[in-house]
Amino acid sequence: MPNQSDKSGPDRPQPTEERRLPVLLRSAWYALNQTFRRRIAHLGLTPDQFTALRWVSESGPAALTQRELTDRMTSDPNTIASLLSRMERDGLIERRPCDTDRRANRVALTDKGRRAFEAAHMIAVQLQTHVLETAVPAEQRDAFLDHLAGVGRVAREALTDSPRP
């Protein structure tokens, strides 16, 4: 006799392709990312550049090291180094040697980077507000965002518990 707590037994309906978590998350992320990409294109920014500007802006005067930015953007060091090189070339950020670790660089916004971030941030807030107000009833928004954060947390914990190949 199957265990009553077994949620994957033959009597449990299997998720359809439209109800699989990875498919739903990817679809939502892709649509949101592409919409945002179009809405900020006139600023000369990509969504990844906006994300980097946001993290650096939120870090305050101390600025983030390149490694800290890599961790917050959940990316790899080579990708972030390339992204920052383009942003530095475009005058959005500057990298300075870290006071406490000469091998590290701190990333700071330039005036141009701050202006670009502020313009893109207004667009990001408008888009998020529109999506949430349209897709999620007001009384469920906080719970929805809490659940989404929980999915991310549990997935990161699962990654930590997973053996490396």
- Say if residue 5's pLDDT is above 50: no
Q: Mind listing the pLDDT tens digit for each residue in 113-125?
A: 999 999 999 999 9
Q: Output the six-digit token pair for 162.
A: 């997973």
Q: Mind listing the pLDDT tens digit for each residue in 7-60?
A: 555 666 666 666 889 999 999 999 999 999 999 999 999 999 999 999 999 988
How much is the pTM?
0.81
Q: Output the six-digit token pair for 101.
A: 């670790």
User: Does any domain span residue 24?
Assistant: no
* DSSP secondary structure letter of residue 7: T
User: Does any domain span residue 11?
Assistant: no
Give the model's pLDDT for residue 138.
97
Range of the domain at 114: 44-156
Give the model's pLDDT for residue 12.
63
CB under 8 Å to 122, separation ≥6 — which residues? none
User: Does any domain span residue 1?
Assistant: no
User: Does any domain span residue 18?
Assistant: no
Q: How many folded domains does the chain comprise?
A: 1
Give the model's pLDDT for residue 4.
47
* DSSP secondary structure letter of residue 16: P
Cβ contact 116:92 at 8 Å? yes
Ramachandran quadrant class, 107 (left: phi over 0; alpha: psi -120 to 50; beta: rest): beta
What is the rounded distance in angstroms from the CA atom of residue 18 to the CA atom of residue 156? 23
Helix (H, G, I), strand (E, B) or coil at 97: strand
* CATH classification at residue 51: 1.10.10.10
CB under 8 Å to 59, separation ≥6 — which residues? 68
State the chain's mean pLDDT as an integer: 89
Strand partners, 107: 64, 95
Task: Give the mean model confidence (pLDDT) for residues 101-123.
Answer: 92
Task: Give the mean model confidence (pLDDT) for residues 118-137.
Answer: 98
User: Does any domain span residue 122?
Assistant: yes
User: Does any domain span residue 139?
Assistant: yes
